Amino acid sequence: MNPIVITIIVLGVVGLLIGIMLGVAGKKLAVEVDERVVEIREVLPGNNCGACGFPGCDGLSAAIAAGKAPVNACPVGGPAVAAKVGKIMGVDAEGREKKVAFVMCSGTCDKTKTYYEYAGIESCKMMPFVPGGGPKSCDFGCLGFGDCVKACQFDAIHVEDGVAVVDKEKCTSCGACIKACPQHLIELVPYEKRKKFHVACSNKLRGKPVIQACDVGCIACKKCENNCPKDAIHVENNLAKIDYDKCVGCSKCYQVCPRGVITAWEPLPPAMQRKEA
């Protein structure tokens, strides 16, 4: 018989045997996949931002199906996605308070001093390597080079007048900007309208150094703390901090702040305006 024909026959038989063996092994060693994992993955946004605490949407899908994560664990998807996931899992999607990012700095170009004109790489992470930690007078404030802007997948944060500002309607609370900020200026705050007051400062100094660095820095005077009827704001490490679980949005702290550090997201009626105004 022709050697070429023999070779072809042998290869065909070997290929057939290998195919049969692989088919049998595939059935014997197959890992059963929970169909709910696939269904949950399909309804998740797919941003793979990691804000849920799991390695992307695949990791969260598996965790929810295994009962290791709640059905409303995706902050990007919000209540709408939570409801769909809850339907897949056969449970009610409990309400999860919406939160958005907030930049704890209001030191715009006209409020802070600039020591020199910077012309290097425009990245906040580079500032520790330049004189004075950057051109701005406040060592704790927004550096204004937009590392947070570059990290945001939702176009929800932009640098305006030297300070990063969050669009709370676009923000999905994914936390990407929080991780990107080397100054640790960004935190998640409640979106709920009655909790609309926030401390827009991160300066840990007190008194004169703050006044010299910024026109709107917290000087730890404690007027906000002393005037809050709900014990919802305290000065810690020379910086006012609001307890949002206690805050009722009465505006008492906002009214008495002599430096304008406590800000309001929305226009206020005359009765809630700052007393100095």
For 179-194, what is each residue's pLDDT tens digit? 999 999 999 998 876 6
**How confident is the prediction for the chain on average, in pLDDT?**
87
Structural domain spans, the chain:
37-89, 98-191, 195-277
The correct answer on CATH 1.10.15.40 for the domain covering 37-89 is: yes
98-191 has the same fold as 37-89: no
pLDDT at 277: 45
How far apart are the C-alpha atoms of 38 and 64, rounded to whole Å?
Answer: 11
For 17-68, what is each residue's pLDDT tens digit? 888 888 777 666 655 667 888 899 998 988 888 888 888 898 999 988 888 8
Residue 209 pLDDT > 80: yes
* Structure-token pair, residue 259: 């430096």
For 108-117, what is each residue's pLDDT tens digit? 999 998 889 8
- Among the four given CATH numbers 3.40.630.30, 3.30.230.10, 3.30.70.20, 3.30.460.80, the one describing domain 195-277: 3.30.70.20
pLDDT band of residue 233 (cuts 50, 70, 90) is very high
- Among the four given CATH numbers 2.60.40.2700, 3.40.640.10, 3.40.30.10, 3.30.70.20, the one describing domain 98-191: 3.30.70.20
- Per the model's pLDDT, the better-predicted residue between 107 and 51 turns out to be 107
Rounded to a whole number of angstroms, the distance between the first and last alpha carbons of the chain is: 106
